């Protein structure tokens, strides 16, 4: 007889405290083994569908439609189920009903008898679609998504008992009762929402929700309600995050960009930002001449709107010069940013009306600088200081903006590694020789993944830290993320905003991209990045947004032999002439990975009235001979770890290290 413990027993003893805690959730051998069986069953389910979108830029109508149709997933399910048994017009009508159930039901124009028949036909069709899209989930997970008022009925209809006698009559009676009790409309809305919910298991937003388009706040409201979401911050998200956190230079940038695209109502009416002091200052300070470069983009000037647009242009011009002064303060505080070339106001010869860029002197197209002291050009006037302070309070105390920014923090990050892929909005800054470009932060140099991790931490510090010194350090890093030369969200040597406004010579407008964008076709470059993040080089992908894919010029979103996928194809209307399409999205399901390109979306009204879906083209990137299972995912790895813990718990029960608590009622807490 020996007193030596086996390896398994030593492990049990070592983890006894943890296993004692676990035993409170699974107090008997039966409870633990039942959960092991449940988890093993989940591991064998097909992998859930992931939906990737990027660079939405406030285009909420296009975004909402792509979200509702899941980049064609729902229409494909309808085709799979009904094939040639329904006409194309019927399938199109069914898809539109699923996307916009309330609106389509409001448009029903048929008599009472016909409407009941219509309800019956469409309820059965919707149930079939819902069965198909929910089939890859456990009954527990499906039940949790049910609205409470219809939970029992939905459970009955979606989980047929093949052995039930008179099954057809039973289900027919349920449908008839729903209609007779005048609940068909509410039930249809509920089941359509469920179909949308089950069509996609997880949504990835790879940056740039904000700027250019009119409805970033509407998009954020939609994302707030989404069931499973992650966000990789874009540079345009960061500028709003920093503004909300109180970075004065980023506040100026937000107002400038919003004025440039004529969406000041987003700030004033929907986020409650008080722009009146700035508007009054701009009207009193700037004349109506020399405003051409500051007039809102994409808006035709008419006799009716001229005064309003001129006021917007004056606000635009006033806030830009304030921005230049505020940015100079940050650059002065951080010589390690190496951005002295962006302190341009002291390079102007105000008498001659010229500016020195590098070693070349250029004429300015405007010499109206009423708030600039030629001896101290970076000093804010007293009136500007007061305006900036009032704007800062308004941004920092906007309840709705803070709600949206907190969502960006809770669901967002600089990057995400998920199911073997690296999701990153911009780039990993590189040197020309393929090495990682260093970035110096508070006296220390960082590269690659470590740089992104530190920048992520600083961005959170800038919003959440109460220490004024640490908070300022974080806020300054957020500004650098917006426009710094080694920023992974910006990816350019400089932001030539001043040059575009004030200098006509186009060569000064060029914003030289980081070498990453020049050589990202090189497999070895992408492999180096993926390896830095600990990914398997055999099947990993780097998924980017940020830079529009110029399809009209023959550019492909698939780069580096398929290892790099760029899915910014032009959601923003401002880019669509340049790109030729209206965005790329990516679908990754149990069968493989598909790249979807979209034609421009006309309007929600047309989509509903004419049942007009976005025209999309699918490119199969990868397909697998055997379906990927939950076991092959990050979730699967977590479940396997749970199974291993439960096996140890069972072993501890059987070895006598922990006693069963038979008298404790066991409650099964489903997680999936």
pLDDT in tens, 32-71: 999 999 999 999 999 999 999 999 999 999 899 999 999 9
Average pLDDT (154-179) is 77
The mean-pLDDT minimum among 517-526, 577-586, 628-637 falls in 577-586
User: Considering the chain, what is the average pLDDT of its residues?
Assistant: 90
At CA 160, angle to CA 155 and CA 165, rounded to 5?
125
Q: Which residues of 523-540 are buried (b: 16+ CB within 10 A; e: fewer)?
A: eebbbbbbebbebeeeeb
Percent of the chain with pLDDT over 70: 93
Q: How many CA atoms lie within 13 Å of 333's alpha carbon, on the beta-carbon side?
A: 17
CA distance 250 to 228: 30
Task: Please choose, from the candidates 264, 244, 246, 247, the residue with its C-alpha nearest in 3D space to the C-alpha of residue 255.
Answer: 264
**Taking a C-beta distance cutoff of 8 angstroms, is the pair 565, 541 a contact?**
yes
Tens of pLDDT along 487-535?
999 999 999 999 999 999 999 999 999 999 999 999 999 999 999 999 9
Q: In the chain, count of helices (H) and strands (E)? A: 28, 17
pLDDT at residue 570, rounded to an integer: 67
Tens of pLDDT along 545-579?
988 887 777 888 899 999 999 998 667 676 666 66
pLDDT band at 354 (very low <50, low <70, confident <90, very high): very high
Is 278's pLDDT higher than 80?
yes
Average pLDDT (449-459) is 98
Share in percent of the chain as helix, strand, coil (round to 5): 55, 10, 35
pLDDT at residue 455, rounded to an integer: 98
pLDDT band at 584 (very low <50, low <70, confident <90, very high): confident
CA distance 477 to 454: 10
Average pLDDT (85-112) is 90
Average pLDDT (93-100) is 94
């Amino acid at each position: 007889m020996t007193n030596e413990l086996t390896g398994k027993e030593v492990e049990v003893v070592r983890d006894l405290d943890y296993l004692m805690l676990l035993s409170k959730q699974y107090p008997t051998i039966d409870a633990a083994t039942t959960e092991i069986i449940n988890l093993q069953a989940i591991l064998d389910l097909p992998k859930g569908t992931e939906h990737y979108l990027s660079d939405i830029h406030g285009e909420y109508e296009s975004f909402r439609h792509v979200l509702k149709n899941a980049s064609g997933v729902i229409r494909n399910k309808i085709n799979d189920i009904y094939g040639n048994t329904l006409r194309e017009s019927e399938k199109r009508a069914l898809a539109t009903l699923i996307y916009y159930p309330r609106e389509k039901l409001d448009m029903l124009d048929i008599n009472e008898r016909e409407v009941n028949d219509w309800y019956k036909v469409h309820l059965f069709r919707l149930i079939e679609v819902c069965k198909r899209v929910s089939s890859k989930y456990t009954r527990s997970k499906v039940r949790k998504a049910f609205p409470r008022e219809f939970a029992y009925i939905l459970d009955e209809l979606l989980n047929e008992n093949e052995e039930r006698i008179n099954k057809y009559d039973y289900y027919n009676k349920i449908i008839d009762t729903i209609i007779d009790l005048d609940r068909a409309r509410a039930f249809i809305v509920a089941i359509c929402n469920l179909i949308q919910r089950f069509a996609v298991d997880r949504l990835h937003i790879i940056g740039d929700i904000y700027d250019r388009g009119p409805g970033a706040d509407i998009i954020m409201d939609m994302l707030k309600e989404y069931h499973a979401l992650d966000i990789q911050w874009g540079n345009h998200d960061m500028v709003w995050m920093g503004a909300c956190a109180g970075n004065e230079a980023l506040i100026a940038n937000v107002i400038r960009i919003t004025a440039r695209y004529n969406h000041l109502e987003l700030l004033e009416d929907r986020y409650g930002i008080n722009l009146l002091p700035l508007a009054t200052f701009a009207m009193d300070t700037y004349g109506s001449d020399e405003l051409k470069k500051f007039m809102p983009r994409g808006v035709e000037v008419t006799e009716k709107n001229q005064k309003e647009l001129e006021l917007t242009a004056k606000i635009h011009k006033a806030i830009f010069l304030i921005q230049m002064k505020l940015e100079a303060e940050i650059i002065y505080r951080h010589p390690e940013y190496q951005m002295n070339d962006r302190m341009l106001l002291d390079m102007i010869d105000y008498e001659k009306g010229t500016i020195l860029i590098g070693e070349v002197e250029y004429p300015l197209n405007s010499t109206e600088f009423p708030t600039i002291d030629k001896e101290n050009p970076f000093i804010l006037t007293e009136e500007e200081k007061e305006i900036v302070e009032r704007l800062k309070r308004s941004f920092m105390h906007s309840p709705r903006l803070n709600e949206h920014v907190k969502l960006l923090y809770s669901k967002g990050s600089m990057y995400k590694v998920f199911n073997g892929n690296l999701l990153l909005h911009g780039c990993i800054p590189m040197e020309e020789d393929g090495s990682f470009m260093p970035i110096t932060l508070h006296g220390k140099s960082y590269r690659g993944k470590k740089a992104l991790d530190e920048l992520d931490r600083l961005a959170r510090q800038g919003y959440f830290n109460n220490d004024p010194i640490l908070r300022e350090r974080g806020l300054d890093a957020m500004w650098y993320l917006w426009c710094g030369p080694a920023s992974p969200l910006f990816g350019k040597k400089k932001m030539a905003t001043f040059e575009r406004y004030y200098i006509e010579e186009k060569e000064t407008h060029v914003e030289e991209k980081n070498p990453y964008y020049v050589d990202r076709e090189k497999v070895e470059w992408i492999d180096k990045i993926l390896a830095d993040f600990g990914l398997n080089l055999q099947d990993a992908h780097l998924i980017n947004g940020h830079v529009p894919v110029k399809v009209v010029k023959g550019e492909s979103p698939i780069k580096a032999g398929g290892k790099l996928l760029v899915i910014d194809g032009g959601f923003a209307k401002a880019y669509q002439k340049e790109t030729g399409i209206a965005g790329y999205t990516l679908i990754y399901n149990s069968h493989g990975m598909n790249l979807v390109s979209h034609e421009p979306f006309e309007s929600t009204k047309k989509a509903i009235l004419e049942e007009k879906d976005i025209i999309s083209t699918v490119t199969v990137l990868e397909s697998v001979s055997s379906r990927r299972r939950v076991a092959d995912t990050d979730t699967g790895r977590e479940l396997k770890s749970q199974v291993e813990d439960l096996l140890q718990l069972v072993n501890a029960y059987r070895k006598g290290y922990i006693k069963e608590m038979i008298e404790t009622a066991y409650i099964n807490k489903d997680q999936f």
